[in-house]
Amino acid sequence: MFEDLIGPFLHYGFMQRALLGSLVLSVSCAPVGVFLMLRRMSLTGDAMAHAILPGAAVSFVLFGFQIIPMTIGGLIVGLLVALGSGLVSRFTVQKEDASMAAFYLISLAVGVLLVSWKGSSVDLMHVLFGSVLALNDAALTLIAAVAVITFLALAIFWRALVAECLDPLFLRSVSRIGTPVHLIFLTLVVLNLVGGFQALGTLLSVGLMMLPAAASRFWTNEVRAMCAIAIIIAAFSVLGGLLLSYHASLPSGPAIILTAGVIYALSALAGRRGMLSSALMSRRHKTA
């Protein structure tokens, strides 16, 4: 039993790199996912994950699988999509969710066409779903840098981020920091998606951000506690997913997200604020 759980990480360097990179990514992505969820922007994270694909694809066409160009390309296009959809929703009758959907669908189509034109189906799968077992020193350095930037930003703007989640109109009425904080938060989302892209690809990187955050909501109602629980759930998802991938010969990225999905389902069922607890509370009220 001990060998099955610990052995893969003791004997194989690629498993150690995958575990280290994914754990650091969990610590960085999970709190950002909590704020996305509280701001009712969960699907925005999914849209932004697709939006970085064209930038990564252009860099792939020009430079191949080079981490720095693909990271810069994904970051630039992700920020442009966020800004473009925001401008459309601000100066037209269209709502932000609709404009974001339009931008990300166009971006996804362009990115897939670019990768398919230059590379093969294997290259396309690598870009879309990542390769957590192939993380190198450059990828680990990028993920660590994203985590440091994220924690510094959260530490500095924590109160403003919480206030904007609860009542953004009030924050903007009493302070000029509302709009800058919103832009900083969107930048953090894009940064973490770009970091997650190195391990999980553009389609799955948002999974490690949103599933642990959504699961944490069933256990507590306090923001700091939600962030901590989301990090723990993400870490267990990484560990369980990598072990499942190793022993069952499954793709590592989908295995990690599937594990997070199982934890989400269990939390929804048996969490302190899940379905069973709600049913018991309802039954007690009826019998009281």
48 pLDDT band, cuts 50/70/90, is: confident
Beta-carbon contacts of residue 226 (< 8 Å; ≥ 6 apart): 34, 213, 216, 217, 219, 220
Taking CA atoms, 288 is separated from 19, 216, 273, 276, in Å, by 50, 30, 20, 18
pLDDT digits (tens, 9 = 90+) for 137-155: 888 888 899 999 999 999 9
121 pLDDT band, cuts 50/70/90, is: low
Q: Could you give the number of structural domains in the chain?
A: 1
Quote the pLDDT of residue 136. 81
Q: Please report whether residue 262 resides in a domain.
A: yes
Task: Identify whether the C-beta of residue 201 lies closer than 8 Å to the C-beta of residue 115.
Answer: no
- Provide mean pLDDT across the span 57-76: 76
Quote the pLDDT of residue 241. 92
Q: Please report whether residue 106 resides in a domain.
A: yes
Q: Please report whether residue 3 resides in a domain.
A: no
Q: What is the pTM of this model?
A: 0.85
Determine the 3-state secondary structure of 256 from DSSP: helix
Mean pLDDT value across the chain: 81
Task: Say whether pLDDT at 122 is over 60.
Answer: no
CATH assignment of the domain containing 82: 1.10.3470.10
Quote the pLDDT of residue 38. 87
Boundaries of domain holding 49: 13-287
Quote the pLDDT of residue 203. 66
Q: Please report whether residue 239 resides in a domain.
A: yes
How far is Cα 234 from Cα 207, in angstroms, rounded to an integer?
Answer: 10
- Provide mean pLDDT across the span 175-203: 79
Q: Please report whether residue 2 resides in a domain.
A: no
Q: Please report whether residue 66 resides in a domain.
A: yes
Among 74-83, 206-215, 235-244, 264-273, the range scoring the smallest mean pLDDT is 74-83
pLDDT digits (tens, 9 = 90+) for 155-175: 998 988 888 777 766 666 767
pLDDT digits (tens, 9 = 90+) for 262-283: 999 999 998 888 888 777 777 7
Quote the pLDDT of residue 194. 82
Task: Say whether pLDDT at 133 is over 60.
Answer: yes
Quote the pLDDT of residue 58. 77
- Provide mean pLDDT across the span 78-99: 73
Beta-carbon contacts of residue 7 (< 8 Å; ≥ 6 apart): none
At 122, list the tokens. Answer: 């294997």
Q: Please report whether residue 1 resides in a domain.
A: no
Q: Please report whether residue 8 resides in a domain.
A: no
